[in-house]
Structure 1
Amino acid sequence: MLLDGLKLRLKSLTLLPKRAIMSSKNTVGIIVIGDEILKGQTQDTNSHFLCQRLYKLGVKVGKISTISDDIDEIASEVKDFSQRFQYVITSGGIGPTHDDITLEGIAKAFNEKLILYPEYCNFFKDYVLANRNSDGKYESIRNKDLLNMNAEEVKNLVSEFPVFKMALLPESTQPQFLRNESGELVSKFPIAQVHNVFVFPGIPQYLKKGFLNIEHLFKNDNIFHATQIFCQLDEVSIAGILNRAVVQFFGRIIFGSYPKIDHSYYATKVTLEAKTEKDMQEGHAYLMKNLPENAVVHFDTNPFEDAWDKLQKIIELQDLHFQKLVKNSIEIMEDCFSRYKPEEVCISFNGGKDCTALLHLAYVVYHHHYSNCPELQAIYIRNKEPFKEMENFIQESVPRYNLKLWTVSGPIKVGLATILESHPHIKAVLMGTRKTDPFSQHLKFFQMTDSDWPQVMRVNPILDWNYNIIWTFLRKLSLPYCGLYDKGFTSIGNRSNTEPNPALSYYDPVTSELKFMPAYALTNGDEERRGRL
């Protein structure tokens, strides 16, 4: 640690140092720090989030670098980035453990000492006293003047209370406090700015919260004008049209083409980025006119944003039968949440198409009527031979819908008993049952389980939906669903009793192989269960 000759002083600074004046205007360099990233033990999602937000702010990310927990490497990369870019963002390595050395590396990059900063020191002092007051040794720092200790005393402090390592920052640090749109303080713990370097934690939740509250520091007037077109044709099929568009709009529009393998909705994403709205619209119109008929498909990249409004719009655009069924399901869902408290309701979710539609409907209604919603409770009753693809989809759905998922082994009766025994507060279970399912033609929207079953209210909001309504709902809203349905599976049980539906089979004329169309291509819903053995 750079504590020798420690000087306990604060140093004022402007937003940007002299050394950054020669850096590229409106650009950001991102440095992701951590051995766990390089070893594949942790996935970096922070740089992806930062790139998305910065792009919306009109800021270009010039480079992303991932480096190890090494002081010299950190110092070298920070120094280089600080000179090349207007701003630098680092992620990771600012905790209290031995491998958290980002701040030491940054101090070395600028040839500065580490000092105890009052804003950070006081924060951690309060933290220690609030969370460790049952231990007498922690009381020893209550009345201690931490900011007037010598270097040796600081070393001892950090040794005894490692949390104070996070209060040691380069001497030119400028704290950036997190405030809401009204200017009110939302956290007493600031983000550290060292010259043009902004130091963020590696934990994604903390980084997101911190960045969103100071992102105004990065915003500029050069907002990018961009749009996307999604094609169900592969990249090779549209390459000629794209090449002509590039020539036609040279210097005005930047085009991008990105193939997507095994995507449920499209095969190629085409991007357009222009300096003006007019150029972007002209380029978009050119492609829409010259791409083959029916090549362009609708796809919503974020169906969970403004989900209630999108659901209402989809309802309005469909036929009266669809409108009646979905509106009725919404009313049943609303009735359920009026009868029961949120903590008394859970959803049965096994990853199938029906309960995926039900889950999204529950999510939309729940979040529309409740502010500051807690997690949706869900149960997954696993059969003996589940498909790996289905289990992966279930796990992917947990963060997507903010689920509190309980997984138990089946059969269903046993699994339900297990859940109710460990969670006796559950009074209602949302089910994705339809009347076309076996033994379900006489079910009601609200119906208690049979007398020989664990007693709970079954709520069946989509009871009157048919096969085609399910797929219209899923695909019109661009909802993710299990990839098995794109391989010809139409009704999925377990690996021993489920095959692709023969009604969707065809022979590929090029390879002469037997293949299957996706589930949504099945026109006769009565054939839905032909793949169930």
Structure 2
Amino acid sequence: MNVAIVTVGDELLVGDTENTNATWLCARLADRGVPVRRVTVVPDEVAEIARVVNEYHAEYDAVIVTGGLGPTHDDVTMEAVAAAFGRECVQNEEAAAWLADHGYSADDLTAETTHLPAGCRPLSNEAGVAPGAVVESVYVLPGVPTEMKAMFESIVDEFDGTPTHTVTVDVDEPESALLDRFTELQEAFDVSVGSYPGESVTVKITAATADEAERAAAWVRERSELVDIVDSK
């Protein structure tokens, strides 16, 4: 299962807000063994959101869109997702009933709150008001982090992948000195390798099994000057 993430908001593109939603979703999906193939930030523009959603829906098994839900003038994500599928936004009675059951009256909400893409599956917002939606394989979630996380956890079982096992090794050598070793490592073991320089170089080894990851990590340790060893996952 390959996933693309689309985060919506002018505030992300000008640096006013850090894109923590994308980081959190990538980590949560990685925990489930689901690869994220794209992370894209788009402005609060119907045409741009619709274009990207349409493109990614054709390429990936699922698309997660976060941000741009609510009552303000720049909350256009639902309209854009509907446009991507050639649909209209219409009153969703299931979403309206859920809000009414949770104490919200028509006076509390704007008319657009329960207008969702026609034929969608609404997603309840346990941590807020504006509902989300699922349109085919596109999941539309709020941009407020607490709301986004709560809503994602309600659908997390719909994202299944192949769990992987990761071991990290901190090496006290320049990254350039490790290149040949990385080549040998990948020839000797069925692993992927990442390296992240800082005060030392953190070598991240990922494999389908814990045994393969540990054997590859032991190989690195035997051939490297170590700073520290940190095992995870």
Give the TM-score normalised by structure 2: 0.89
Q: What residue in structure 2 maps to residue 165 of structure 1?
A: 112
Q: Counterparts of 1:283 and 1:191 in 2: how far apart (Å)? A: 43
Q: Name which of 175, 200, 215 aligns with 1:267.
A: 200
Q: What residue in structure 1 maps to residue 212 of structure 2?
A: 279
Q: What residue in structure 1 maps to residue 188 of structure 2?
A: 248
Q: Counterparts of 2:132 and 2:154 in 1: how far apart (Å)? A: 10
Q: Counterparts of 1:79 and 1:205 in 2: how far apart (Å)? A: 27
Residues matched between the structures, number: 232
Q: Counterparts of 1:95 and 1:190 in 2: how far apart (Å)? A: 9
Q: Deviations over 1:447-492 (max 9, x none)?
A: xxxxxxxxxxxxxxxxxxxxxxxxxxxxxxxxxxxxxxxxxxxxxx
Within a 5 Å distance, the mapping from 1:75-154 to structure 2 comes to 75-125=50-100, 127-129=103-105, 138=107
Q: What residue in structure 1 maps to residue 224 of structure 2?
A: 291
Query: Residue 59 in 1 paired to residue 34 in 2?
Result: yes
Paired residues of 1:231 and 1:268 also in contact (CA < 8 A): yes
Q: What residue in structure 1 maps to residue 179 of structure 2?
A: 239
Which structure has the bigger radius of gyration?
A: 1
Deviation at 1:112, TM superposition (A): 0.6
Within a 5 Å distance, the mapping from 1:352-501 to structure 2 comes to none
Deviation at 1:188, TM superposition (A): 9.0
Q: Which protein has greater RCO, CA pairs closer than 8 Å, 6+ apart?
A: 2
Deviation at 1:128, TM superposition (A): 4.3
Paired residues of 2:54 and 2:85 also in contact (CA < 8 A): yes
RMSD: 2.6
Q: Counterparts of 1:41 and 1:187 in 2: how far apart (Å)? A: 22
Paired residues of 1:172 and 1:195 also in contact (CA < 8 A): no
Deviation at 1:58, TM superposition (A): 1.1
Q: Name which of 165, 172, 192 aligns with 1:225.
A: 165
Q: Which structure's residues are more often strand, by fraction? A: 2
Amino acid at match of 1:202: G
Deviation at 1:120, TM superposition (A): 2.0
Deviation at 1:237, TM superposition (A): 3.9
Deviation at 1:122, TM superposition (A): 3.0
Q: What residue in structure 2 maps to residue 212 of structure 1?
A: 153
Describe the shift of the 1:267–1:276 C-alpha distance in structure 2 as closer, same or farther (beyond 3 A): same
Paired residues of 1:69 and 1:102 also in contact (CA < 8 A): yes
Give the TM-score normalised by structure 1: 0.41
Q: Deviations over 1:32-84 (max 9, x none)?
A: 11111001111100010001010111111010111111111111111111111
Paired residues of 1:121 and 1:164 also in contact (CA < 8 A): no
Q: What residue in structure 2 maps to residue 366 of structure 1?
A: none
Deviation at 1:85, TM superposition (A): 0.7
Q: Counterparts of 1:225 and 1:202 in 2: how far apart (Å)? A: 30
The runs of 5 or more residues in structure 1 that have no matched partner are 1-25, 133-137, 139-160, 179-184, 261-265, 303-533
Paired residues of 1:119 and 1:189 also in contact (CA < 8 A): no
